[in-house]
Amino acid sequence: MVEIKLATTDDASLLEKVARPIWQEHYEPIIGLEQVEYMLDKFQSREVITEQIEQGFEYFIVSHDKAPVGYMSVEKREKSLFISKFYLNSSVRGKGIGKVMLNKVHQLAKEKECNQLELTVNKYNPAYQIYLKLGFENRESIQIDIGSGFIMDDYRMIKPI
């Protein structure tokens, strides 16, 4: 059974623990260990998650059979719902959990009266092809300097709803 629960600042430590193995396994081959560790600290740490929740980001813990296996985060930006984070442990991929997560994002967008979903994805992330199949359109290539000599080399994608 899949459960998607709205997280609070009290859940930030759990979210940080869920993030680490997902990021290490998925992103090390794409961006390398050094950048993964930097980005975990800069974007996926307990402190940053707490701060983002306090600023209005909504985080959700995704559980399968009562065990946390992923998480996602969204932020309303005018008429867009920005998917800031959308991560699932590889051990449960292919079980339809990602679809349940995306359905939840669609539901949130409708509740917030958004007319599109927006996200950024690393250009070399295999998920890029999945987003295209799900109806997201590649709108632009972006590079963001995140400090310490690292950049995020992404595509900005939109899906009208």
pLDDT tens digits, one per residue of 64-86: 999 999 999 999 999 999 999 99
Overall average pLDDT of the 116-143 stretch: 96
CATH number, domain at 89? 3.40.630.30
Its domain, for residue 124, covers 2-160
Average predicted confidence (pLDDT) for the chain? 96
Number of domains in the chain: 1
pLDDT band per the 50, 70, 90 thresholds, residue 34: very high
pTM of the predicted model over 0.85: yes
Residue 140 has what pLDDT? 98
Q: How far is CA 160 from CA 114, 132, 135, in A?
A: 9, 12, 8
Give the integer Cα–Cα distance in Å for 67 and 14. 11
